[in-house]
Amino acid sequence: MDSCFLSILFSLLLFAGCGAPSVDNAGAVKGDGGNAVPVAQQVVKGVDVPSFNADSAYNFVAAQVAFGPRVPNSGAHKACGDYLEAKLTSYGADVVNQYADITAYNGDVLKARNIIAQFQPQKSERILLCAHWDSRPWADSDPDPSKRYTPIDGANDGGSGVGALLEIARQLSIQPTELGVDIILFDAEDYGRHADEWRDAVEGEETWALGSRYWAQNPHVKGYRARYGILLDIVGAPNSTFALEGYSMYFARAVVGKVWNCANRLGYSKYFKMFEGGVITDDHLHVNKTLGIPCIDIINCDVDSPNGFGDYHHTVNDNMDWIDANTLKAVGQTVLNVIYNEK
């Protein structure tokens, strides 16, 4: 994703009782500036929601990192892509590889590969879950200038979201949801402009999220529709904070409410905060703008770091030291509860 928030507007809410969000008489969470985030329906009693295994998700992240930086056109990228395809296939998904030659902002032609896992593809009512599986080719935010053209492990930035989705896929193989689920691992998300080169390159969101843009323009199913989408990105760091991301609020406010209120009901208010973050150029943007599918971004919002994501972000330090099973549990269990309660 883009290496900085375009505008960081943090307005902390006062929570009512035991960390629960404040709810008005219309059943809406009070947001910044009087905006309201619709509250999701209460978790349906009797629905058997699987337990998200955080250790399993952690191991899935470690397996990706073990291949080395997953930069498009590299051997590690191909090997990891084959691993991801095989793992999703082993969980009973109908897997589609979407290959494309995509030209990056600097002229590099990327042999991109979107990996699409369809669970119960015969069902017309569907939910989209997604993450990006490539890693940043340059540590352009590293404090050491000599490392700023070094590929990164991308344990949190990319690997964490994929690890959580692989564990969700494992659960889907054991206990199907009522709706069909598509898990899409987007490629070439993190090939956006290098911080040292931006003056000589195309600026803005078009340099990022190249795989999701290609998929949105060429979906794997003609006329593809989903009830909504949830993107996971940078979801593994200890004590992460997930704010209300700007594009998510603009395009998919009701989905934000559904997910954030579910997280708070499950006791994860430590992670899912009811304050507004900035708008972030990420894979959900093309899903929203091109296909019109309301899609939200669960992404870390670190108010104490200059770039808004964490001091390790886009540095050589984005490694397994920044992956915490407790954070993966909070995110994964929340998503499982949301999708298993859809009717």
What is the tens place of the pLDDT at every residue in 61-104?
Answer: 999 999 999 999 999 999 999 999 999 999 999 999 999 999 99
Binning pLDDT at 50, 70 and 90, where does residue 277 land? confident
Mean pLDDT to the nearest integer, 226-244: 98
pLDDT of residue 285: 97
- Give CA–CA dist 245/250, Å, rounded: 9
Give the Cα separation of 32 and 12 in Å (integer). 8
pLDDT band of 203, cuts 50, 70, 90: low
Superfamily in which the 28-340 domain is placed by CATH: Zn peptidases (3.40.630.10)
Mean pLDDT of 10-26: 26
Give residue-wise pLDDT tens across range 21-40: 322 222 233 333 334 444 44
pLDDT value at 10 more than 60: no
Residue 18 has pLDDT above 60, yes or no: no
